[in-house]
Amino acid sequence: MNPVRKVGLVGWGAIGRVVGTALAEGRVAGAELVCVVDNRPLGEAAPARQVSLEEALGLCDLVVEAAGQGVVREWGERVLASGTDLLIASSGALTDEDLAKRLLNTGPGRVYFTGGAVGGLDLLQAACSLGPLDEIRLTTTKLPSTLEQPWMDEELLTRMRTATGPVEVMSGTAREVPVKFPKSTNVAASVALAVGDLDAVRVQVVADPAAHRTRHLIEASGPHGSYRFEVAHRPDPDNPATSQVVPYAVLRGLAALAGRSGQIL
């Protein structure tokens, strides 16, 4: 019988609340929420002790990041060096190749990533083991308001705010795009992690006032086959930049790490 994973949760936002509540209610067999780390005083809102990161590392054997890319950059190596495993929701941080290499080479803790709002990554990994894919494209379509960024000029902002149909906001590689949209394009980084090449994945970000569901379309092809995956998610009402399904992808990852029988790997 597998030992119970003692989980420390970093972040009590749209993702963290769902994940933490499910853990506290015992809905993930083999995993127990022992503490929460957040830079805001949570009081009785959190169902477990609120502690500092250092305290958390003494209490848990698995840290779940649900607080954004900055946390991965600031704390990821420290978590792993302590011997604690780390499950990352904000995979966009891994577009920093130096950071990704450091995380993969830091231990004795092990680092894991969730697929977040997209599927098919396991099949892309399998296809890449046969040989490189010739073409990999991701098109992400969201409501204009969720894509606005401080670096945008007035001309682009006006086009987005007055759009009556789809407007291309940016195109580039999976190395370039997530840096510009740190809360909205973790999917691009996840696809790049699956195929092992940030520069091979071409990404297009589209603003559409009719996109009441966030859409991600992955298209890939190579000598051994062609692949197309499309999802359309409801945005989280508390944080429209993320999809409602994301915390459940985190919970699925937790279930796998806790050794739940019958898990699709």
Q: How does DSSP classify residue 235?
A: B
CATH number at residue 177: 3.30.360.10
How many domains is the chain built from? 2
Q: Which is it for the CA torsion 101, 105, 108, 113, positive or negative?
A: positive
The residue assigned the tokens 């130096």 is 98
Considering the domain architecture, whether residues 105 and 176 belong to the same structural domain is answered as: no
Q: Is residue 239 part of a domain?
A: no
Answer yes or no: is 264 within a domain. no
Q: What is the pLDDT along the chain (265 residues), one digit of tens a residue?
A: 568 899 999 999 889 999 999 999 999 999 999 999 998 888 788 899 999 999 999 999 999 999 888 899 999 999 999 999 999 998 888 888 888 889 988 889 999 988 877 888 989 999 998 888 999 999 999 999 989 999 999 999 999 999 999 999 999 999 888 888 877 778 888 899 889 889 999 999 999 999 989 999 999 999 889 999 999 988 888 877 777 888 999 999 999 998 877 767 6
DSSP 8-state symbol, 234: P
The domain in which residue 30 lies consists of 5-115+245-257
Q: Are residues 146 and 224 in the same domain?
A: yes
Q: Note whether residue 193 is domain-resident.
A: yes
Q: How far apart (Å, rounded) are the C-alpha atoms in residues 41 and 176?
A: 35
% helix / strand / coil in the chain, to the nearest 5? Answer: 35, 25, 40
- Say how far apart CA 27 and CA 124 lie, in whole Å: 30
Task: Tell me, yes or no, whether 138 and 165 share the same domain.
Answer: yes
Same-domain pairing of 228 and 126: yes
Interval 193-232: pLDDT, tens = 889 889 999 999 999 999 989 999 999 999 889 999 999 9
Phi/psi at 197 (5° precision): -155, 110
By the 8 A CB rule, do 194 and 114 touch? no
Q: Are residues 86 and 131 in the same domain?
A: no
Q: What is the pLDDT of residue 2?
A: 65
Based on the fold, state whether residues 16 and 86 are members of the same structural domain. Answer: yes
Shared-domain flag, residues 147 and 83: no
At 265 the pLDDT is 61
Number of Cβ atoms within 10 Å of the Cβ of 218 = 25
Assign residue 103 the CATH number of its domain: 3.40.50.720
Residue 240, domain member (yes or no)? no
263 is a domain residue = no
At 208, give phi and psi (nearest 5°): -145, 115
pLDDT at 6: 95
Do 83 and 154 lie in a common domain?
Answer: no
Indicate the pairing of strand 49-50 with strand 31-37.
parallel
Dihedral (CA of 111, 177, 212, 195) sign: negative
Give catalytic residues, as residue numbers.
Answer: 216
Instruction: Mark whether 136 and 221 lie in a shared domain.
Output: yes
The answer as to whether 19 is a domain residue is yes
- Do 108 and 191 lie in one domain? The reply is no
User: Using one digit for the tens of pLDDT, what is the confidence trace for 170-196?
Assistant: 999 998 888 888 777 788 888 998 898
